[in-house]
Amino acid sequence: MPLPVTILEPGRSEKHYWRDLWTYRELFHVLAARDISVRYKQTVIGILWAVIRPVLTMVVFTVVFGKLAKLPSEGNAPYALMVFAGMLPWQFFSTALSEASNSLIGNSHLISKVYFPRIIVPTSTVIVAFIDLAISFGILLGMMIYFQFAPSWQIILLPLFVLIGFAASLGPGLWAAALNVKYRDFRYVIPFIVQFGLYLSPVGFSSSVIPEQWKIVYYLNPMVGVIDGFRWCILGNEAQIEWTSVFVAVVSTTLLLAFGVRQFRKMERSFADLI
């Protein structure tokens, strides 16, 4: 059997990068499995944390936006359900983005001691965010039963929006992770963006409250399309969906993902020297 030949040269773009990624595919599971099993170790209530956090946030949002500010829900859907349907993708996005952006720093001992395609580290943290999404989805099902709210056929399109959400968090996540290695400023920037984004995205309120003249600007946020899409899938025809926002989301996340991967690969080779 001929032995694989590797040539190392400065600035040489790795020809076998994607093949290498395939060779190391098990590292995805292993790192993701590590992060999952380590997550709630030595906590008293363990996995319950994954339930309590979204539920309490939902309660607060329902009270503040629904009861105090008296914002309208989507059609006749209960406000709590509408909030939760929006929180699902948002929470996925925010966890994925912040975990991914810190992932390389958190694994610096690996980066400086062994070789593997670095892209595995931030990507596997995004995979971990899926676990939270699955748990939250379970809570959502429980709430739907409680409110006796039957889903309609659109729910089968949900994976499509999950995919857009995945791309929307991975693209900027990769970029932020790479930048964070070089400039630790991003450690402070990302939480700020996430906090800010919560109010720029229709999490606590419905997109229908946005004035018409601002909608163009508003749709530039790819999470608007994702959240609206989630609501449309879950709440069915009670929710309105603006297909322009979905279209903008698909285009911008694709661009973001391509940009993120490109930037990451460009900086990847110097990580060990900088971290």
Partner 1 sequence: MSETSIQVENLSKTYLVGHQVRRERYQSFRETLVREGRNFARKGLDMAAGRQIIQGDEIEEFRALDEVSFEVKQGEVLGVIGHNGAGKSTLLKILSRITDPTEGRVTLRGRVGSLLEVGTGFHPELSGRENIFLNGAILGMKRAEIRNCFDDIVEFAGVSKFLDTPVKRYSSGMYVRLAFSVAAHLRPEILIVDEVLAVGDAEFQSRCLGKMESAARSGRTVLLVSHNLATVQRLADRVILLKKGAIIADDTAGNAIAEFHRVNSSMRDETETAYRISSPNLKVEEVVTRPSHGFVQGSMEIEFKITNTAPTPEPHSFFVILKNPEGINATSHFSKDTDKTFPLDQKSQCFTVSVDSNCLLPGRYTVEAGCFDSSGAILVWAENLGIVEILPQMDSGADFDGRTGNSTQRANWSTNSD
Q: Which of residues 6 and 76 has its CB atom nearest to partner 1 in the complex? A: 6
Number of Cβ atoms within 10 Å of the Cβ of 23: 13
Q: Which of 27, 63, 105, 193 binds partner 1 (CB under 8 A)?
A: 27
* E strand or H helix at 196: helix 186-200
Each residue 167-196 as x (binds partner 1 by CB under 8 A) or -, in order, gives: ---------------xx-------------
For residue 143, the minimal CB distance to partner 1 (Å) is: 33
Tell me the CA distances in angstroms from 207 to 64, 151, 211, 218, one per residue in order.
Answer: 17, 20, 9, 9
Q: Which of 111, 167, 223, 256 binds partner 1 (CB under 8 A)?
A: 111
CB 173 within 8 A of CB 93: no
- Token digits for 12? 């040489």
Q: In terms of C-beta density within 10 A (0-12 exposed, 13-18 middle, 19 or more buried), how is residue 170 classed?
A: buried
Distance CA 171, CA 226 (A): 15
> Which 3 state secondary structure label does DSSP give 116?
coil
Q: Which of residues 71 and 272 has its CB atom nearest to partner 1 in the complex? A: 272
**Considering the rule CB under 8 A, would residue 19 count as an interface residue with partner 1?**
no
**Considering the rule CB under 8 A, would residue 38 count as an interface residue with partner 1?**
yes
For residue 124, the minimal CB distance to partner 1 (Å) is: 11
Give the residues lining the site for partner 1 (CB under 8 A): 3-11, 23-24, 26-27, 30-31, 34, 37-38, 41-42, 107, 109-116, 182-183, 269-270, 272-274
